[in-house]
Structure 1
Amino acid sequence: MSDNSPNLRPHPDFFSHQVDESDYFFLDLKPDPEADFALACGGLEYCNLKYEINRDRFEYYGMEYIVSGACCLKLAGRKYELKAGSIFCYEPHQHHEIRNTGDVPLVKFFVDFSGREVPEIIGAPFFESTVPYQMSNLRDMHALFLLMHETGKQGGRGCQRIIRQTLELIALQARFRAVDLQDASSGSFVTYEKATSHIAQHYLEINSVTQMADACHVSPGHLSRVFKLFCDESPWQMLTRLKLNRAGELLLKGEHMIKEVAGTVGFEDPYHFSRVFKKYYGVSPTRFCESMRSSSPSGGRA
């Protein structure tokens, strides 16, 4: 079947009827068994409160991502309680059950695919451990699934290749930025999510780890240990990264002096700001401004 097959087809019989609203696409429902990779279908489902699916003869690999709501998943003989940000995979003919839980409708992306190279494309952590994962970067993961969804809807040349590479990127995100479900339900992860959200919203006003810790009602030492569990940077490193990124944006506009930018992002000493900026980016603020302006087509501020 060609890469640009139309989306206008009857729904396959393996789709649930307990869905209030859906947006599906279909590409290759009868793929060549010798194909390296073939995307069959995918979609975004707004499930009703009675949503439940029970399959053991499903012929494709599947990947699903919870956008909102909660569900109970039974996979590989184990039961998991999933929430927004959970992601999981199942193999062809692997028994799995998904049931909406709670009072909020379940919303989820899914893609179904086949091919000899799927285990290599997806690989760890999904098919080696057969357990769901909780993503700590929900916005990025949602964007990747939305990209796959829109690509599948458009079809056309390169569709299969784009989706294959997006799946590889999702697998990498899960490998390096996911936490297991037990950790995701812990108080430490709740603190981590609260802290990262607070830092992202208030980084311009925050100037110490103590301020971050106070906002989360924990000690600075505890906050640092929590960050070590779930990411590869300390609270202070995250704060500094956000401040310097904003500083770069302001410098690029060319509307403020370096001293003013330093003060805006929380550095009282512009010389200290310059040292930190150069340590992170390899160039001084002055050199950064010069190089950015000289690289614009007019030779001035872009």
Structure 2
Amino acid sequence: MQNLNQDESEPIQSGAEPDFVSDQVTEAKRYYLDLNPSPKDPLVVVCGGVERTRLDYEIDRQRFAYYGLEFVAEGQGDLTLGGEEYPLSSGSLFAYGPLTPHRIASRPPDRMRKYFVDIAGSEAKSLLEEAGLLDGKPLRAPRAHEMVELFDMLDREASGDADCASEICAQVLRLILTKIRLGCLAECPTMPRAYSTYERVREYLDVNFLTIHTIEEAAKQCDLTPIHLSRLFRRFGGMGAYQFLLRRKMDRAAELLLEENMLVKDVAEQLGFSDAFQFSRAFKRVHGLPPKQLVMSRKLSSVNGDD
């Protein structure tokens, strides 16, 4: 566990890795725009990124330097916010203020892939309050795939070389908060019933992807036809249901190969593939390279001291 109690008034030295950043992750893409923001600026994106948590991931803070906004794109976890406990799953949104105690943890055997952005400025608190994010409990993103697109946009703009990156990121953040306010607080009165079905099925796949081998199995468990299920994912998720299931399996496969040093054939068997060849083809389709090549590249990086 990392007990991180960064004082909100303590400046962070430029160029140093902030001590509130967790190393209990398997993958991380982070950016730092302004670690010592001026309180006179209306809205500042301090830093942010996306990370995939390890099984032992746990952040426990009594206070923080900024306001934080986090979005769970995949997996499950647990959140304690102001002394109350909540489950986290795909689509969960939550925020905390500088004086809000919070604990975020993985829920084994699952892991989370989550976005985060740390915020400062004179308008930060009011914008988060208007979005319903400082009420002491997490929200559900009405369109999770849209949140992923917006957070990816924020990451791209923050990682660019443009001189106006900070200004652009502040505008993207305003868009994210507006989307949350209009979608979550309005309880989505215009949301089609089909979207609720999509969220129910997506959550089922997110929890049970290790034991589901076909979309037909998932459709049966969710009282849908395979055609209806696929249409829901293409309409609201931007990808087919099988592609979503396969990505969840291959993300888990990468973790087993790199973190637990399992053999390719053993990972293939655990994930329900008939043979290692079939598994390797599926892995390459998702990650762009065969599993053995991924393992070898990681070993070479370790030998060369790149980790």
Deviation at 1:192, TM superposition (A): 5.8
- In structure 2, do the counterparts of structure 1 residues 155 and 74 end up closer, same or farther at CA, with 3 Å as the change threshold? farther
Map of 1:298 onto structure 2: none
**Is 1:164 the equivalent of 2:170?**
yes
- In structure 2, do the counterparts of structure 1 residues 122 and 155 end up closer, same or farther at CA, with 3 Å as the change threshold? farther
How many Å separate the matches in 2 of 1:13 and 1:194? Answer: 37
Map of 2:97 onto structure 1: 91
Give the RMSD, CA atoms, in angstroms. 3.3
Map of 2:21 onto structure 1: 15
Map of 1:226 onto structure 2: none
- In structure 2, do the counterparts of structure 1 residues 108 and 180 end up closer, same or farther at CA, with 3 Å as the change threshold? farther
Map of 1:56 onto structure 2: 62
How many Å separate the matches in 1 of 2:200 and 2:63? Answer: 41
Map of 2:153 onto structure 1: 147
Secondary structure at the aligned position of 1:21 is classed as strand
Q: Structure 2 stretches of 5 or more lacking a match?
A: 1-13, 188-193, 203-220, 225-231, 236-307
1:35 corresponds to which of 25, 41, 54: 41
**Is 1:100 the equivalent of 2:106?**
yes
AA in 2 matched with 1:112: D
Map of 1:175 onto structure 2: 181
* Matches for 1:1-302 after TM superposition, within 5 Å: 9-178=15-184, 191=197, 193=199
CA offsets, 1:251-279, max 9 Å, x none?
Answer: xxxxxxxxxxxxxxxxxxxxxxxxxxxxx
Give the TM-score normalised by the residue count of structure 2.
Answer: 0.55
Deviation at 1:163, TM superposition (A): 1.8
How many Å separate the matches in 2 of 1:144 and 1:170? Answer: 7
Deviation at 1:56, TM superposition (A): 1.5
AA in 2 matched with 1:23: K
Question: Residue 132 of structure 1 contacts residue 180 of structure 1 at CA under 8 Å; is this kept in 2?
Answer: no
- In structure 2, do the counterparts of structure 1 residues 180 and 13 end up closer, same or farther at CA, with 3 Å as the change threshold? farther
Map of 1:260 onto structure 2: none
Question: Residue 64 of structure 1 contacts residue 109 of structure 1 at CA under 8 Å; is this kept in 2?
Answer: yes
Secondary structure at the aligned position of 2:179 is classed as helix
Question: Residue 66 of structure 1 contacts residue 87 of structure 1 at CA under 8 Å; is this kept in 2?
Answer: yes
AA in 2 matched with 1:88: F
Secondary structure at the aligned position of 1:129 is classed as coil
How many Å separate the matches in 2 of 1:49 and 1:195? Answer: 24
Secondary structure at the aligned position of 1:126 is classed as coil
- In structure 2, do the counterparts of structure 1 residues 217 and 58 end up closer, same or farther at CA, with 3 Å as the change threshold? same
Secondary structure at the aligned position of 2:130 is classed as coil
Q: Structure 1 stretches of 5 or more lacking a match?
A: 1-7, 182-187, 197-214, 219-238, 243-302
CA offsets, 1:213-259, max 9 Å, x none?
Answer: xx9759xxxxxxxxxxxxxxxxxxxx9xx8xxxxxxxxxxxxxxxxx
Give the TM-score normalised by the residue count of structure 1.
Answer: 0.56
Q: How many residues align?
A: 192
Question: Residue 132 of structure 2 contacts residue 185 of structure 2 at CA under 8 Å; is this kept in 1?
Answer: no
- In structure 2, do the counterparts of structure 1 residues 102 and 154 end up closer, same or farther at CA, with 3 Å as the change threshold? same
Percent identity reads 32
Question: Residue 88 of structure 1 contacts residue 126 of structure 1 at CA under 8 Å; is this kept in 2?
Answer: no
Secondary structure at the aligned position of 1:31 is classed as coil
AA in 1 matched with 2:175: L
Secondary structure at the aligned position of 1:89 is classed as strand
